[in-house]
Amino acid sequence: MAKNQTKTKLLRGEPAYGITLTLGSPIAAEVLAQAGFDFVLVDNQHGLWDENETMMAFRGIVLSGATPMLRAQKNDYYTVGRALDRGALGVVAPMINTVEDAQELARAVRYPPRGERSIGPFGAAFHGPDYLRWFNDEAYLAVQIETIAAVERAEAILAVDGVDGCWVGPTDLAASMGLDLTVAADRKLHEETILRVVAACQKTGKIPGIAGRPHNSADWVQKGMRFVTVGSDGLILGERAKAILSELR
């Protein structure tokens, strides 16, 4: 039986750190998993991935000892199911704004009787022959909270059976609120709004998460976040390259 080590860690109350992959490179997925991240999130929403590259990335992530996770292209039963059939053990889905959105997502992720996922995980065979027996328990499902409408309904969304936690999208949240994050008062309101989601997680017993950056991820953990991405492959590659050149010059 495979074990979702990231989910195990989160359920113990410990933070789990991940990185988002946008560049469409399965080799980069393997290299970054070897860096020691708890999970690696293959971004099918905004990233440059096709289905086969996604599957190869999941395999490289598992080979390197991290948990393979997916940001789904959209909250759609068939889209989510096809990606899971390629080996993801966790799913983040964008723009979950209502209880009905969360229920539809939960339906797509787990097998009956806990969901309605169709059976046919042909690309997930590398997880072992007993995959169907343990998947429901080991799957991790996070709803993406990235609009003020979702924040207003966060407690009800998170209470949906099958939802394990959330992943706040700070940039889209700020846009939905009409905030300018160069303004101190707007930054304060932005943070207070995000902390409302943390409080909703605490009330429902679900796991709070956020799309962080290298400079603020530790601070978000101090504020209660546990499922935390520290940036993307493209962002970290570019920033590290600039830092190396700055040191040399």
Closest among 47, 103, 49 to 75, alpha carbons compared? 103
Closest among 84, 86, 78 to 104, alpha carbons compared? 78
pTM exceeds 0.85 = yes
Predicted pLDDT at 102: 98
Please tell me which residue in 46, 127, 190, 215 is annotated as part of the active site.
46
Q: How far is CA 172 from CA 98, 125, 147, 179, 196, in A?
A: 16, 36, 7, 10, 16
Tokens 């999130």 belong to: 41
Would you call 127 a catalytic residue per the annotation? no
Predicted confidence (pLDDT) per residue in 112-132, tens digit: 999 999 999 999 999 999 999
For the chain, the average pLDDT equals: 97
In the structure encoding, which two tokens stand for residue 146, read together?
């990235």
Predicted confidence (pLDDT) per residue in 3-45, tens digit: 899 999 999 999 999 999 999 999 999 999 999 999 999 999 9
Runs of H (alpha helix) within 67-146: 77-84, 99-109, 131-138
Beta bridge partners of 92: 71, 142
Predicted pLDDT at 121: 97
Predicted pLDDT at 2: 73
Predicted pLDDT at 22: 98
Q: Is 1 a residue whose pLDDT tops 70?
A: no
Predicted confidence (pLDDT) per residue in 130-183, tens digit: 999 999 999 999 999 999 999 999 999 999 999 999 999 999 999 999 999 999
Q: Is 19 helix (H, G, I), strand (E, B) or coil?
A: strand
What is the spatial distance between Cα 61 and Cα 165, in angstroms, rounded to a whole number? 22
Give the rounded percent of residues in the chain with a pLDDT score beyond 70. 100
**pLDDT band at residue 106 under the 50/70/90 scheme:** very high
Its sign, for the CA torsion 152, 94, 78, 229, is: negative
Supply angle C-alpha 63, 69, 73, rounded to 5: 130
